[in-house]
Amino acid sequence: MSAPVLASARAGSLSAAVEAGAALVEQKNPKPLSPIETDAERIRSSIARLTSNSLEGLGGLASELQQLQSFLKSEVEHVQGEIESALAGINIIIETIARWKTSTVPATPSNGARPIRADWLTRVG
């Protein structure tokens, strides 16, 4: 006896076991199919095979997309860190330049020398 027939018999359903056995007999001795039935069966099996392949392909594609999403998230975090670092550097430069502008000696000294920064004078003197 086959596994489906034994499983059905164990479940206590004798009629189900008989039906399963009849289905096996029909599979072993199929009656001749008309050309339309043959075509329909061929189409059904093709659709089942294509659906199976499509589902497997979609599963693989979904897995690849999840990996790509993880990679992109890590790259976004990396780029955001780089941007924050660059902005911090730019802010330091802006603050330094702003201090230079506000702390210079008048633009035209009387003796024709270049203007110097006032904070340099305080460090030297």
pLDDT in tens, 35-84: 788 888 888 888 888 777 777 888 888 999 999 999 999 999 999 999 99
Query: What is the average pLDDT value for the chain, to the nearest integer?
Result: 73
Establish if 18 belongs to a structural domain: yes
| Contact between residue 57 and residue 41 where contact means Cβ atoms under 8 Å apart | no
- Structural domains counted in the chain: 1
Q: Domain span at residue 4?
A: 1-31
Establish if 89 belongs to a structural domain: no
Q: Is 105 helix (H, G, I), strand (E, B) or coil?
A: coil
Establish if 5 belongs to a structural domain: yes
Indicate the pTM of the whole model: 0.40
Establish if 123 belongs to a structural domain: no
Which pLDDT value is given to residue 23? 55
**Planar angle of CA 83, 88, 94, nearest 5 degrees:** 125
